[in-house]
Structure 1
Amino acid sequence: MVTIKDIAARLEVSASTVGRALADDPRISAAMKQKVQEVANDMGYVVNRAARMMRGVSSNLVGLVVPDIRNSFYSTIAHALSKCLESADLQLTLSETDDDRLVELRHIRELTSVNVAGIIIVPTARPHPESVRLLKMTSCIQLLRRHASLGEHWFGIDDTQALFQATRHLVELGHQRIAYIGGTTDLPTGAARLQGFHGAVAGSKAAAHVREELGAPASTDFGRDAIRRLLALRSPPTAVVLGSVQNTQGALEELHASGVSVPETLSVVGFGDELGFRWWGPGLTTISLPVSELATACGLWFIHQLKQKSANPAPYSSVSPPTLVVRGSTRAVEAANASRAPARSRQLAG
């Protein structure tokens, strides 16, 4: 294994000069840094990260801790963050918690043990006290979800406004029997989205007829089962609004499998704007979320803080706005009622 001493011998300089050059020490000239780097590359030198961490030097690793990488939200975030951090010679490492706070704790322990440059986390509903303690010892940014105990650096989406826009669209179309399928209110995102749903129907005729289907965690199975329960009611809803990407996917699968015509029988507003959503049936009306832009902004802010080398940066929050995208899966309730009789005879092209 090639060492700093080997490089120093080749260049006929001291090992300390080589070490400083590789660490980009300002006391070393640019010309010497270039010579050292060229020889290091030629000899196949690899930085001993373990040795650096033993000396208390932070690694170039940044931990991303998310609940479920199968959720396109988080895979999109991981991709955007990775590309952003590469520009600062930082490497993203991914951990998945499945919304289990003990798994979350294990990952946080591992990340802090290797002196990561920082941790970007979508926290569980109730982080373990030890997780809170460890995260306070490193640079930590919360993403999407926000937990008061984990600090005040947060990048998120206006979840309340997202569901307000989605539901208000249905109210303005004349729907009164509106159902909401969403996540548990144990999570701040779930509570905010439910608040937006109720805020949109407040003061309207729909307020007396709304129905909620809340589950934890959000999943395609829950979305599928919730739609079945709603359609089996004596007076089923004329419209449904979804509160997560997974719930949306499950609901759309069930509606297709059941032969329910959208929007003739049921108007649907989804959550998130997956590529397939625009092609589903008549095209899904949905809430588009700037997930990639949010992740990039988070990464750029994190890089800026590292360069500033501030021990206690001022609290920072960034809230990105959602956008309602109207397609063919919603229509005015009067038009829906007029065509309700033959509505189930047509299969959706899903």
Structure 2
Amino acid sequence: MITTRDIADRLGLSVSTVGRALADDPRISEGTKFRVRQAASDMGYVANRAARMMRGASSNVVGLVIPDIRNSFYSTIAHELSKNMEAQGFQLMLSETDEDRMVELRHLRELSANRVAGVIIVPTARPHRESVKLLRTIPHLQLLRKHRSLSSQWFGVDDHEALRLATAHLVEQGHTEICYVGGPVELPTGAERLEGFRSALREGGLPESAGRTELGPPSSVDHGRRAVRRILADRPASTAIVLGSVQLTLGVLEELRQTDIKVPEDLSIVGFGDEPGFSWWGPGLTSVAFPIQEMATGCALWLMRRLATQPDNDNTYASVSSGTLIVRGSTAPPPSGHTSGSRSG
């Protein structure tokens, strides 16, 4: 391994001068810095980050802690964050929790031990107390989900309004038996989306009983599959389904492909998110789209600003992005002859 002493010997400089040149110390002339950097590049020198951290310096790494990289929300966010961090001289380190708070804790311990500059986190439903303590020592932002024990700086979407829009569209189409497939209320996003669904029913003059709910893991494609099987087993009941996550939407769409149910003639569907394939699935999926790339960019810039100016400042800040209902061919009025009285259970 090439060391600063090797560079110093090659250039006839002291080790301390080489170290200061690599650290961009203003006491070193620009000419010397150029010679040192050129030699370091030619010789394949890699900075010893562990030694820097032992001296109390933080790294240029930002941790991203998310539940599931397979979810396009998170993969898109990770991609955009990575590009923005790279432009500012930072590197993104990805950690996946699979909604397990003990896995979340292990990742946070590693990030803390490596003295990351900051953390962007989509927290689990109940972060461990030690996770909360660790995050209090690291500049961090919450993304999509907001837990009251963590930073009051948050970037997310208007979950309530997104589901209200999606459900109101079905109510306006004349549906009176609508099923919501979403995440658990223990998650703040799950609670907000469920309330948005119920708000649309109330605004449409429908009783809460008009809305069936199938709640489960939001990142589980299998939960979406199982939920639609139960819904179809109860026909004639729900004439429409509104989804509360991208993965659940994928599960429902995959399951429907295996049935003889016609969309929207037999069943109307409103998805969550706007995957590239949604526009050409069947008749085209009506769905709620979100400005994920813009949100990720804003999140990155906010954290960079916080690290550059006041890293210990945790003033309350919230950036809320709105969803847009994209109407395609998967929604239509309910099947003729269907009435609310036909609900079987």
CA distance in 2, matches of 1:113, 1:296: 27
Q: CA deviation at 1:186?
A: 0.4
Inter-partner Cα distance in structure 1 for 2:63 and 2:219: 24
Q: How many residues matched?
A: 338
Give the CA deviation at 1:217: 4.4
Name 1:275's counterpart in structure 2.
276
The offset of 1:203, in angstroms, is 3.7
On the 8 A contact 1:238/1:266 being kept in 2, the answer is yes
Pairwise mapping of residues 155-170 of structure 1 onto structure 2 (< 5 A)? 155-170=155-170
- 2:305 matched to 1:304? yes
- Measure, in 2, the Cα distance between the counterparts of 1:161 and 1:26: 52
Change in 2 beyond 3 A, CA 1:27/1:321? farther
Q: For residues 313 and 259 of structure 1, what CA distance do their matches in structure 2 show?
A: 54
Q: What is the CA deviation profile of residues 101-140 of structure 1, one whole-angstrom value per residue up to 9, with x for unaligned ones?
A: 1111011001100101111111100000000000100111
Normalized against structure 2, the TM-score is what?
0.94
**How far apart are the structure 1 equivalents of 2:210 and 2:254?**
25
Q: CA offsets per residue over residues 205-249 of structure 1, 9 Å max, x none?
A: 433411111113441111111111112225411111000111111
Are the equivalent residues in 2 in contact too, given 1:182–1:218 (CA < 8 A)?
Answer: no
Looking at structure 2, the residues matched to 309 and 55 of structure 1 have their Cα atoms a distance apart, in angstroms, of 21
Query: Which residue of 2 is the match for residue 43 of structure 1?
Result: 43
Answer whether contact 2:82 2:92 (CA < 8 A) is retained.
yes
Cα distance between partner residues in 1 of 2:317 and 2:31: 39
Is 1:286 matched up with 2:325? no
Contact 1:176 1:205 in 2 (8 A): no
CA distance in 1 between partners of 2:229 and 2:319 (Å): 38
- Residues 201 and 210, structure 2, Cα contact 8 Å, conserved in 1: no
Query: Do residues 3 (structure 1) and 14 (structure 2) align?
Result: no
The aligned residue for residue 342 of structure 1 is none
TM-fit CA distance, 1:44: 1.3
Distance 2:100 2:160 in 1: 25
| Counterpart Cα distance in 2 of 1:31 and 1:322 | 53
Equivalence map 1:146-157=2 (5 Å): 146-157=146-157
Partner of 1:109: 109
4+ long deviations beyond 4 Å: none
Q: Report Cα offsets for 1:8-41 as digits up to 9, x if no partner.
A: 2333333222212211223333333222211111
2: CA distance between counterparts of 1:43 and 1:322?
A: 51
Matching residue of 2:333:
332
Q: Which residue identity does 1:85 align to in structure 2?
A: M
Inter-partner Cα distance in structure 2 for 1:98 and 1:126: 13
Q: What's the counterpart of residue 216 of structure 1?
A: 217
Q: Secondary structure at the match of 2:258?
A: helix
CA drift of 1:200 comes to: 1.0
Q: Aligned with 2:238: secondary structure?
A: coil
Q: Percent identity?
A: 60
Once the two structures are superposed, the pairs formed by residues 29-108 of structure 1 within 5 Å of their partners are 29-108=29-108
2: CA distance, partners of 1:44 / 1:143: 38
Supply the distance in 2 between the matched residues of 1:221 and 1:71 (Cα, whole angstroms): 13
Q: Which residue of 1 aligns with 2:181?
A: 181
CA 1:44–1:110: 2 relative to 1, 3 Å: same
Letter in 2 for 1:77: I
Return the alpha-carbon distance in structure 2 between the equivalents of residues 124 and 311 of structure 1.
24
Give 3-state SS (helix, strand or coil) of 1:150's partner.
coil
* Aligned CA-pair RMSD: 1.7
Using the alignment, how far apart are the partners of 1:247 and 1:77 within structure 2? 19
Give distance in 1, aligned partners of 2:282 and 2:50.
54
Structure 1 residues 65-97: Cα deviation after superposition (integer angstroms, max 9, x where no partner): 111111111111111111110011211111111
Amino acid at match of 2:288: I
In 2 relative to 1, CA 49–146 (structure 1 residues): closer, same or farther, beyond 3 Å? same
Q: Counterpart amino acid of 2:82?
A: S
Once the two structures are TM-superposed, the CA of residue 313 in structure 1 deviates from its matched residue by: 4.4
Structure 1 gap ranges (5+): 340-350
Amino acid at match of 2:244: G
